[in-house]
Amino acid sequence: MIQTNTAVEFDEVIAVCRSLFLKKTKDYGTAWRILRPSSITDQIFIKAQRIRTLEEKKVSKVGEGIIPEYIGIINYCAIAMMQLELSETDPLEMPFEKVESFFDEKITETRDLMLAKNHDYGEAWRDMRVSSLTDLILMKIFRVKQIEDNEGQTLASEGVKANYQDMLNYSVFALIKLGVK
C-alpha cells in the first residue's frame, strides 16, 4: 500500500499554483483588484465549465488541458478571498510583498480547513472521481452566485468565503489525483 500524506501533496500542488500566481503578479501587478466578487465567481465558473466540457468531450481545440484550469480555479479562489477582505478604498495596485503575504495567508487558512475536514471525512476524496470534484466545484459556484444575488444574505448556509475555500481544496484534490507536483 502506498503511504499518502495529504498535507505534503497539498503543499506541492500549491507551490505550482503560487509560482504562477506570483509570476503573473510581477507581469500584471494587481489588475485583478478591479474585479467585483461576482466577476471573480464568473471567472471560476468559466474554468470549471471548461474542465467539465473537456472531461465529457475528451478533446481540446485550444491545446490546453484541464490542469491549467484547475490551477486557475485555485488562484482565482485565493484572489476572491483577498478581495473579500479589501475595500473599494484600498488601492488597486498593491506592493508585491503584500500580495505574496496575503496569498500565503489565504492558502494557509484554506489548508487548515482542509486538514480538519479531511480528518473528519477520512480522506473520502481519494475514492472520488476527478469528474465528481469538478461537479462539486460547479455546485459551489452556483451556491456562491445565489448568495451574491441575495446580496450576501444567508439563512442557514456558510458564506462565500467557505465556498471559495471548498472549491480551492477540491481543485487541489483533483490536481493531486492528476499527479501534479
Percent share of the chain, pLDDT over 90: 84
Over 80: is that where the pLDDT of 167 sits? yes
Model confidence at 117: pLDDT above 90? yes
pLDDT band at 155 (very low <50, low <70, confident <90, very high): confident
Q: How far apart are CA 177 and CA 100, in angstroms?
A: 27
pLDDT at residue 48 greater than cutoff 80: yes
Query: What b/e string do you get for 148-167 counting C-beta neighbours within 10 Å, with b at 16 or more?
Result: eeeeeeeeeeeebbebbbbb
Q: The pTM is what?
A: 0.94
Give the whole-number percent of the chain exceeding pLDDT 70.
Answer: 98
**What letter does residue 31 receive in the DSSP assignment?**
G
pLDDT at 108: 98
Q: Where are the alpha helices (DSSP H) in 66-129?
A: 66-85, 96-121
Q: What average pLDDT does range 114-132 have in this prediction?
A: 94
Rg over alpha carbons for the chain, rounded to the nearest Å, is 16
On the question of pLDDT at 103 being above 50, the answer is yes
Q: What is the mean pLDDT of residues 4-19?
A: 95
11 or 151: which carries more pLDDT confidence? 11
Mean pLDDT throughout 4-8? 89
Is the pLDDT score of 1 beyond 50?
no
Residue 154 has pLDDT above 90, yes or no: no
The whole-angstrom separation of Cα 63 and Cα 65 is 7
